[in-house]
Amino acid sequence: MNDVIQLTAAELAARLTAGEVSSAEATQAHLDRIAAVDGTLNAFLATDAEISLAAARDIDARRASGESLGELAGVPLAIKDVLVTTDMPATSGSKILEGYRSPFDATAVARARAAGLIPIGKTNMDEFAMGSSTENSAYGPTLNPWKLDRVPGGSGGGSAVAVSAFEAPLALGSDTGGSIRQPAALTGTVGMKPTYGGVSRYGAIALASSLDQIGPCARTVLDTALLHDAISGHDRHDSTSLDFAWPSMAAAARSGADPATLAGLRVGVVKQLMIDGVQSGVQARFEQALDLLTAQGAEIVEIDAPHFEYAVAAYYLILPAEASSNLAKYDSVRFGLRVTPQGGATVEGVMSETRAAGFGAEVKRRIILGTYALSAGYYDAYYGSAQQVRTLIQRDFAAAFDQVDVIASPTAPTTAWALGAHSGDPMRDYLNDATTIPANLAGIPGISLPIGTASEDGLPVGLQLMAPAFEDARLYRAGSAIEQLIADRDDAPFWTQAPELDAAFLATAQTGKATN
Ligand code: GLN
């Protein structure tokens, strides 16, 4: 494996600044990697080498002319296909948007470009971000590089795999109920859902607007923080965007790199998040992480959050209700696909045939559920009650954060499951998010970072940390300290072993297709 692609974003940025490598070289190395492995992994839905290399050469030229550039200038960035860009398609994983091109850039993308990042492609995802495995993509599943018969999590499996498999050092994701954090956990990477409103949603294809949040993915906590800094901040195009003077997340990550900073940190463990069905190896790694924290002088506090057990139920009313409304705009007139029925086209006929052909099963299921929940006579019973439960969950969090600085849980109750294992039983997917959904309902930030592999299957386990709204920096500080402790542990199974992992999937990739 080419060593440029093994560098973290921070390391690559330092080499770019020092002139030891050019952005064109770094971009080409990642494009080569994509060409070599992505026929197997299917993390990318679109790449355009010419566009990416032109952007990279532009940064190289500006650097050569002495222009002062952002810290990440010249570093490649993968972009979840939920974000629109002017120079590549955006499908949100759906057939209904096949071929769609946006006339504008999503704000997160525009800011990334302004910071000098090089968009390297659009990543695969569950259709309209509905799912936990990326198997709901209309363009085929993404495979998990840790074991090719496993899902990478979802909905942002493509972004997580892009960074996990060294196809990109950085990626953008969206998290409505866990779609950044859960794939991070299942692929051994880091993913952050910022405070609701911390990163603009302008140009993010909406799933459930009161829950959706754009955020960063990477292989290290510092890299995640650097990307967070590049994309966050107030945006007048997004009415829910916060006008707040955010501290530097990268500075927080750097200050946390010393595990001694964990002394005195009060860490809450919510009884209701230690749900039945947590896999034994996940539980073991979680307890080990708590032990590492305790050894540094952190205090573990058990927390009761009685309404968390209703979080999944409330989420699966609020999300479908908002999604059914957001997805009404795919009417065959304004965007993408249009199917004309045989034997005469009426307006209703074209719309219903288009939606029947363009949406997949999970999207239809949620539109039906959401439309029902919002219908006259049922609104109060379903959507209204779910919103009340949401308030109770927010109060549980507020009470918890009176006692603790952060809340810790396993990011997901299991490691990556086999492709197809949940087919026909969407509830199994829904329950995999029981631990991530509460943060979206409350609008608070949450991060997932790798804490080792499960002994029974050798697959990555993630630790989730949550903090009160606006305290994103606290997660980077603590996350970075924990990352350091894990790296120091004798059995740390992470990126040091990646080349071995690589041999397995490269072999498959080369037999699977002849790209280079
Ligand atoms: N898996 C969850 C769902 O299907 C989360 C999705 C997301 O965060 N976009 O709704």
- Domain of 397, CATH number, reads 3.90.1300.10
Say which residue the tokens 């910022």 belong to. Answer: 194
Measured distance CA(37)–CA(131) in Å, rounded: 24
Position in ligand 1 atom list of the atom nearest CA 319: 10
Does the pLDDT value for residue 322 go beyond 50?
yes
SS3 category, 236: coil
CA distances from 162 to 147, 418, 439 (A): 15, 19, 25
Mean pLDDT of 83-93: 97
Measured distance CA(388)–CA(365) in Å, rounded: 24
Position in ligand 1 atom list of the atom nearest CA 178: 8
Say which residue the tokens 């959507």 belong to. Answer: 383
User: What is the CA 162 to chain-centroid distance, rounded?
Assistant: 11
Domain count, the chain: 1
* Cβ burial, residue 148 (10 Å; 0-12/13-18/19+): middle
List the beta bridge partners of residue 46: 122
C-alpha of residue 437 to centroid of ligand 1, in Å: 8
Choose the weakest-confidence range: 243-247, 393-397, 496-500: 496-500
C-alpha of residue 141 to centroid of ligand 1, in Å: 16
Position in ligand 1 atom list of the atom nearest CA 175: 8
Measured distance CA(493)–CA(352) in Å, rounded: 50
Smallest CA-to-CA distance from 278 within 432, 85, 436, 115 is with: 432
CA distances from 29 to 4, 10, 53, 360 (A): 7, 17, 11, 35
Smallest CA-to-CA distance from 122 within 102, 155, 98, 92 is with: 92
Are the beta carbons of 473 and 254 closer than 8 angstroms? no
List the beta bridge partners of residue 118: 76
Say which residue the tokens 């037999």 belong to. Answer: 511
Are the beta carbons of 349 and 355 closer than 8 angstroms? no
Residue 479 belongs to domain spanning: 3-308+391-506
Kindly state if the Cβ of 475 falls inside 6 Å of ligand 1: no
- Tell me whether residue 68 is in a domain: yes
Look up 155 and say whether it is catalytic: yes
List the beta bridge partners of residue 408: 269, 465
For 421, the enclosing helix (H) or strand (E) is: none
Does the pLDDT value for residue 22 go beyond 80?
yes
> Among 92, 94, 102, 179, which one carries the catalytic annotation?
179
SS3 category, 374: helix
Kindly state if the Cβ of 176 falls inside 6 Å of ligand 1: yes
C-alpha of residue 344 to centroid of ligand 1, in Å: 38
Smallest CA-to-CA distance from 145 within 34, 60, 272 is with: 34
The overall average pLDDT reported for the chain is: 93
C-alpha of residue 179 to centroid of ligand 1, in Å: 5
Kindly state if the Cβ of 319 falls inside 6 Å of ligand 1: yes
Mean pLDDT of 208-228: 97
Joined tokens for residue 138: 């209309």
For 272, the enclosing helix (H) or strand (E) is: none
Look up 122 and say whether it is catalytic: no
* Cβ burial, residue 144 (10 Å; 0-12/13-18/19+): buried
Mean pLDDT of 93-112: 96
- Tell me whether residue 352 is in a domain: no
Measured distance CA(23)–CA(2) in Å, rounded: 15
> Among 22, 52, 80, 480, which one carries the catalytic annotation?
80
Kindly state if the Cβ of 270 falls inside 6 Å of ligand 1: no
C-alpha of residue 176 to centroid of ligand 1, in Å: 5
> Among 22, 23, 102, 155, which one carries the catalytic annotation?
155
* Cβ burial, residue 269 (10 Å; 0-12/13-18/19+): middle
C-alpha of residue 412 to centroid of ligand 1, in Å: 13
Q: Write down the pLDDT at residue 335.
A: 82
Are the beta carbons of 411 and 462 closer than 8 angstroms? yes
- Tell me whether residue 55 is in a domain: yes
479 DSSP assignment: H
Percentage of the chain modeled with pLDDT above 70 = 94
Kindly state if the Cβ of 129 falls inside 6 Å of ligand 1: yes
Kindly state if the Cβ of 177 falls inside 6 Å of ligand 1: yes
Assign 516 a pLDDT band (cuts: 50, 70, 90): very low
Burial pattern 22-32, b for ≥16 Cβ within 10 A else e, equals: bbbbbbbbbbb
Position in ligand 1 atom list of the atom nearest CA 440: 8
Assign 376 a pLDDT band (cuts: 50, 70, 90): confident
Measured distance CA(193)–CA(512) in Å, rounded: 35
Kindly state if the Cβ of 175 falls inside 6 Å of ligand 1: yes
- Tell me whether residue 341 is in a domain: no
Measured distance CA(273)–CA(276) in Å, rounded: 9
- Tell me whether residue 357 is in a domain: no
| Residue 514 or residue 369, greater confidence | 369
Measured by CA distance, the residue closest to atom 5 of ligand 1 is: 177
Kindly state if the Cβ of 205 falls inside 6 Å of ligand 1: no
- Tell me whether residue 237 is in a domain: yes
Assign 514 a pLDDT band (cuts: 50, 70, 90): very low
Look up 80 and say whether it is catalytic: yes
Mean pLDDT of 151-174: 97
C-alpha of residue 177 to centroid of ligand 1, in Å: 5
- Tell me whether residue 501 is in a domain: yes
- Tell me whether residue 374 is in a domain: no
